[in-house]
Amino acid sequence: MNDGRRPKGTGSIRERHGRYQAAYSFTDGTGSRRRRAQVFDTKTEARRWLNERLAEAATGHVADAGGLTVGRYFSDWLGSLGVSQLEAATVSWYRSAATRHIVPALGSVKLAKLSPVMIESFLAEKAANGRLDGTGGLGPASVRRLQVTLHKALEAAVRKGMLARNPADFADSPRMPPRDVTVDVWTSDELVRFIEATQTDRLAAAWRLAAMSGLRRSELVGLQWPDIDLDGGWLSVRRSVVIVDGGPPIVKPPKTAKSRRTVELDRRTVSALREWRRAQLEERLRAGEAWNPGEWVVADELGAYLRPDRLGKRFVALSRAAGLRTITIRQLRHSHATALLSAGESPKVVQERLGHSSISVTLDVYSAVLPNMQREAVERLAEMFDA
């Protein structure tokens, strides 16, 4: 029975095989004697940790995860996310990172003994050989996703009093091996061939818009007519339609401020959209009361938006019918960006059109195009001096 006594503790530091084990014992509020220990690379880290634990014991705030393992904790944590305010897509990739990578590798470790060194080793292993099929390591974005998931989960453990500190705060990011970031894209000629080949398709305007705007598939499907200013020649990205874990489509606003953007349109794309608007109004008259509300631009014969996955399959089918190399709509977006960069457009403009979070993302993804741009710029400069 708790008699109101505050925990009191004593501790020590011992060197073991070139590392330092900090340990402390304390009497908890029930009078039971408890012991905690952790191993560190340096004596300074061990001393800092021990001083923090002894201070907590003196004030009665002792973190205690008991015998809970990382695997069991993540199971409970993932379950709690179902009632959180996080977006479904965010919860989905937390779950994917945890179940496919974190729990299989660290699940048997006691939560209280999970150290920064263990996390660093785990991330380094994933960077070197992380794929489930053993064909290579995870890319920088995937490794970063694992880091974010670990930090988010362990921060919750700190708030709940299960951990005194978040070990992910003290884990260094792994050194990433060089990777081939070349993106498979269509050339400008192939883009033209695709647009020409789909001119008789019912969604010809949508295919041209996709090729000439660089919109994401989810953003293309999420367009409504009030988002497009045909007189001004631009559109606003205000929502997207996404599918999470194979479930029904979800209509949601763009996730980031950079994704909420204005995209300028060329005259021929505007003309194609005007024609499509008239054709769709005729479809609406024929459908009568069966017409769906929403003013969706990329819609079926009854005005309902198209599922993103079905639009993607239709794109692949049309590409093959045109005799073009098979790429995805996402790669069509990359093709748009690559064509702009190859034509000498500024990476900053490309970043703004595509809605990248930063220009560094644009530079990383399209690094293969940039050396050619540099050579062309140098030649133009030389022509100026030689004129």
The answer to the question of residue 182 being in a domain is no
Helices (H), the chain: 43-59, 70-81, 88-97, 103-106, 116-129, 140-159, 188-197, 204-213, 217-221, 267-287, 308-321, 329-342, 347-354, 359-365, 370-386
What's the pLDDT at 26?
73
The answer to the question of residue 175 being in a domain is no
Those residues of the chain that have pLDDT short of 70 are 1-9, 27-32, 57, 59-66, 82-86, 129-137, 176-183, 245, 368-378, 380-381, 386-387
What's the pLDDT at 61?
56
What's the pLDDT at 129?
67
The answer to the question of residue 88 being in a domain is yes
Domain shared by 195 and 301, yes or no:
yes
| CATH number of the domain encompassing residue 301 | 1.10.443.10
Boundaries of domain holding 341: 188-379
Domain shared by 230 and 337, yes or no:
yes
What's the pLDDT at 136?
55
The answer to the question of residue 314 being in a domain is yes
CA distance 253 to 343: 32
180 — phi, psi (to 5°)?
Answer: -85, 110
CA distance 121 to 140: 15
Domain shared by 33 and 118, yes or no:
no
The answer to the question of residue 386 being in a domain is no
Domain shared by 135 and 23, yes or no:
no
272: which residues sit within 8 A by CB, 6+ positions away?
Answer: 204, 205, 208, 209
Domain shared by 104 and 243, yes or no:
no
What's the pLDDT at 67?
77
What's the pLDDT at 65?
61
Domain shared by 336 and 306, yes or no:
yes
Domain shared by 96 and 166, yes or no:
yes
Report the candidate in 186, 187, 366, 337 with the shortest Cα–Cα distance to residue 263: 337
Domain shared by 81 and 220, yes or no:
no
The answer to the question of residue 2 being in a domain is no
Domain shared by 305 and 358, yes or no:
yes
Domain shared by 111 and 223, yes or no:
no
pLDDT tens for 281-311 read 999 999 999 999 889 999 999 999 999 999 9
What's the pLDDT at 364?
73
Report the candidate in 213, 202, 159 with the shortest Cα–Cα distance to residue 352: 213
The answer to the question of residue 363 being in a domain is yes
Report the candidate in 258, 262, 265 with the shortest Cα–Cα distance to residue 213: 265
Domain shared by 262 and 372, yes or no:
yes
CA distance 308 to 221: 6
Distance of CA 298 to the CA centre of its chain: 25
The answer to the question of residue 177 being in a domain is no
Model-level pTM greater than 0.75? no
What's the pLDDT at 41?
86
38-43: Cβ within 8 A, 24+ apart: 38/113, 38/115, 39/115, 40/115, 41/117, 43/13, 43/15
Q: How many helices (H) and strands (E) does the chain have?
A: 15, 8
Structural domain count of the chain: 3
Domain shared by 327 and 217, yes or no:
yes
